[in-house]
Amino acid sequence: MKDTTSQPIRTTCPYCGVGCGILVTPGPEGVTVAGDPDHPANFGRLCSKGSALAETLGTEGRLLTPLIGGRTSGWDRALDLIARRFTRTIAEYGPDSVAFYGSGQMLTEDYYAANKLMKGFVGSANIDTNSRLCMASSVAGHIRAFGSDTVPGLYEDFELADLVVLVGSNLGWCHPVLYQRLLAAKEARPALRVVVIDPRRTATCDIADLHLPITPGSDAALWNALLVEIDARGLGQWRNRVAGYDEALAAARAGSRDCGTDLTAFIEMWCSTERVVTAYSQGINQSDSGTDKVNAILNCHLATGRIGRPGMGPFSVTGQPNAMGGREVGGLANTLTCHLSLDDPAHRSAVQSFWNSPRIASRPGLKAVEIFEAIEDGRIKALWVMGTNPTISMPEADRVARALESCDFLVASDMVSTGTTRRADVVLPAAPWGERSGHVTNSERRISPQRAFLPPLGLARADWQAIAGVAQRMGFAGFDWADADAVFAEFKALSGVAGTLGADFDISGLSGDVPALWGNRPDGRFFGDGLFHTQDGRGRMIAVTPRAATPQMRLNTGRIRDQWHSMTRTGRAPRLNAHIAEPFVEVHPKDAARLGLAPAGLAAVENRHGRAILRVLVTDRTAPGQVFAPIHWTEANAPSGRVGALVPGAPDPVSGQPALKEASVTLSPFRAAWFGFAASARPFTPACDYWATARFAGGLRAELAGTAPPSDWEDYARTLFGLPGAEAAVLTDRARGLMRLSLSEGGILMAALFCAAQPVALSRKTVCDMIGQPAPAILTGQPPVGRADPGPTVCACLGVGRNTIRDAIRDGRCGDLGSLGRELGAGSSCGSCKPELRALLATMLEPVPSA
């Protein structure tokens, strides 16, 4: 018998900045995905998103050919047109009239080609990336403090520390495998303490010895207060080894502010623990004073010398798989390449000479927010967007969408149709994860290969190939790479030149194609010796004056456990949609009561920038006066769930990173006349005031609501599902405002619609499981007698629902994580659901207070 299985291919996860190694094994039934036990980032672990990667490889919705004006084209015509329009625009309006806007999803090779073309040949630095929205304030903070954008520590420092402080980071949901490493270390060594600093009680708080629910925006004040105490206790051991100590201390003393919570225990822990890691993420970076917040953290580590040694140091956790690679390549508007400086003539000259380019950008270009403003006012005439959808991810997303519509010439490279590709003059089909090869760098500076294991679908190509094609057509030499390896070899050689100029990023000696940490220090860490990349070699402490917080109802934005960005990939995996299937807003019970918001009802969340309609989740995880909403939903799956439309996104003055976590909003009940739930074996697009769709294994489901009910439900359902001739069964209860409708073909249930005057209460999973099965005589929306409703999915890998878990805890079968895993399988695979399992255990096993 022929063996149709193959050897596993080593590659890297395409989602978050943890950068987990993956083994992909092609087989007769498709590919299987497993964690790579030999990869030093994850040692075989994967989170729910990584584990479900094989489910996301379908062809549905993929862009297969270039499009010009919405019509199919060949690559040559498309590239000719792009080259012609960019050349003409540059000739007419100058190099700064064009721009590239990329993504932390791009591979290092793509970034390298784009940066070389724009900075070295067009002669502008108008190249920026959605990484600007993610960690630009960390880059700026590093450069101010260290003289270079260098992450000092390693993942293993989380395990070696005695205290890990997580600031503005929901590590449990956003970087799950790093969280699991921390959790395992804490379980093995309970003396390792964890502090979470976050206005919200996130899933990560589950393992925290201390949670500080600070007032939003008061982070800098907190770190200033710590610095004052560090000095008072005589812990400022590097006072004379770093610059700016006294100025930073004076600013800290002057800028004290109430953080909304008692800091005593935290300060005591931090001061008394030498091995301390402070990890921070978007909660720090996505602020209009993000760089100051970063430096306020770095100040405390520099003052104490707790940096670059085992188990200690500040640690910026990056959001995207190759945000770090983009930083190394120079894919930001204010950087050059290989940690060389755009401001240094010698650096520019060396890079120009290496590229043999006719010119080189000599000043910073437009950053992300500025690019779209420049389109609005006509300074940018031609834009190429690669691997990102700014109509969702940018602040003031509606305004950005209008700007793109007004752009003279817009090119978009993507794997699927998005709000950006739909507005583009030329669309290029990009080869995604699995169909392209190259490299990514994770949060700890580890470069890993991403390898193709499938042929490109249709005419899809890697971004570097498209960029090289355009560059060659613009008449530029030096873009005739044979393959991605040749691009990477050139990048490595350039980094060798950078090394001779004193840059720390020199990978010219990197050999082989295995995960490799860059840096020339024996233990892989930087700055433990007190030597930095500044002119005088000293680290710099920065005087930070905290900003005042806004008093209005404040919207905090973020991510959910099982989705990634705008869901173009994770939204394809049914099991990832089973956890949370529609956009929501978390509201504190006091605010909900005050504003008349009912649990599971809908709220209109609005301000002068935009409006969203979101499902109300009443919870005390969010403090009074604050609300939280996730960022993932788009016009394709929930048009009124686009949270980016509400965010003004004032940029940080140093880094240009917009404040994506800061918006003042008002909330009011969305007065729906009817609510509905629909499920169908075939795709459908609802048309009503509120809708949100999600895939399940047998089709598509949707939550619906409208301000006026249709005149005829049966007609409505037939049109909605595209089943004009199906056999309909309708049950209505006018007195209770209920309606249940099924449509079947040949005795098979093809679609179901449930509507009510209140949010529809039924077992969604039961209804979804019935689609495609023999049509029942009566559609109840409840499990058959004798079978329990599992409830919403908690464990995505094993499909274990909340009701099942609660029942097992309630009847005493399970009392801890181990027994939940043994009895139900919950949490026994990727472990991403462990925070929720622990929370359920904690709530249900709480001792009942005696009367």
**Interface with ligand SF4 by CB under 6 A: which residues?**
13, 15-16, 18-20, 42, 46-47, 49-50, 175-177
Closest distance of CB 18 from ligand SF4, Å: 4
Closest distance of CB 49 from ligand SF4, Å: 4
- Beta strand 21-27 with 9-12: parallel, antiparallel or unpaired? antiparallel
Strands (E), 608-671: 610-618, 626-630, 663-664, 666-669
Pick 448 or 804: Cβ nearer ligand SF4: 448
Residue 705 corresponds to which amino acid?
A
Closest distance of CB 52 from ligand SF4, Å: 10
How far is it, in rounded angstroms, from Cα 316 to Cα 154? 10
Closest distance of CB 790 from ligand SF4, Å: 24
The residues that bridge with 497 in the sheet, in sequence order, are none
Q: Taking the CB of residue 478, how many other CB atoms lie within 10 A of it?
A: 17
Would you list the DSSP string of 410-442?
A: EEEEESB--TTGGG-SEEEEB--TTS--EEEE-
Pick 14 or 676: Cβ nearer ligand SF4: 14
Pick 50 or 519: Cβ nearer ligand SF4: 50
The pair of structure tokens assigned to 79 is 């590239």
Pick 57 or 113: Cβ nearer ligand SF4: 57
Closest distance of CB 436 from ligand SF4, Å: 17
Strand (E) or helix (H) holding 165? strand 163-167
Closest distance of CB 805 from ligand SF4, Å: 22
Closest distance of CB 46 from ligand SF4, Å: 4
Closest distance of CB 13 from ligand SF4, Å: 3
How far is it, in rounded angstroms, from Cα 46 to Cα 179? 11
Backbone angles phi, psi at 637, to 5 degrees: -125, -10
Residue 347 corresponds to which amino acid?
H
- Give yes or no for a contact between 383 and 375, defined as CB atoms under 8 angstroms apart: yes
Coil, helix or strand at residue 664: strand
| Sign of the alpha-carbon torsion through 398, 400, 401, 407 | positive
How far is it, in rounded angstroms, from Cα 206 to Cα 520? 37
Pick 46 or 466: Cβ nearer ligand SF4: 46
Long-range contacts of 50-54 (CB under 8 A, 24+ apart): 50/13, 50/15, 50/20, 50/22, 50/177, 50/830, 51/797, 51/829, 51/830, 52/562, 52/570, 52/573, 52/575, 52/576, 52/796, 53/13, 53/14, 53/22, 53/433, 54/30
Pick 51 or 607: Cβ nearer ligand SF4: 51
Long-range contacts of 70-74 (CB under 8 A, 24+ apart): 73/426, 74/459
Secondary structure of 459-507 in HEC code, one letter for each residue: CCECHHHHHHHHHHHCCCCCCCCCCHHHHHHHHHHHHHHHHHCCCCCCC
CA-closest candidate to residue 642, choices 633, 652, 629 = 633
Pick 56 or 388: Cβ nearer ligand SF4: 56
Pick 17 or 395: Cβ nearer ligand SF4: 17
| Contacts of 213 by beta carbon, 8 Å cutoff, 6+ apart | 198, 199, 200, 201, 260, 261, 623
Pick 20 or 544: Cβ nearer ligand SF4: 20
Pick 44 or 799: Cβ nearer ligand SF4: 44
CA-closest candidate to residue 267, choices 307, 224, 299 = 224
Closest distance of CB 33 from ligand SF4, Å: 10
- Give yes or no for a contact between 698 and 772, defined as CB atoms under 8 angstroms apart: yes
Closest distance of CB 560 from ligand SF4, Å: 12
Pick 175 or 533: Cβ nearer ligand SF4: 175
Closest distance of CB 818 from ligand SF4, Å: 23
CB-based closest residue to ligand SF4 = 50
Closest distance of CB 11 from ligand SF4, Å: 11
Secondary structure letter of residue 605 according to DSSP: E
Pick 35 or 651: Cβ nearer ligand SF4: 35
Closest distance of CB 565 from ligand SF4, Å: 11
Would you list the DSSP string of 307-349?
A: SSBTTBEEEEPPSSTTHHHHHHHT-STT--STT--TT-HHHHH
Pick 42 or 89: Cβ nearer ligand SF4: 42
How far is it, in rounded angstroms, from Cα 683 to Cα 667? 32
Coil, helix or strand at residue 457: coil
Pick 47 or 90: Cβ nearer ligand SF4: 47
Closest distance of CB 37 from ligand SF4, Å: 14
Pick 225 or 560: Cβ nearer ligand SF4: 560
Closest distance of CB 103 from ligand SF4, Å: 16
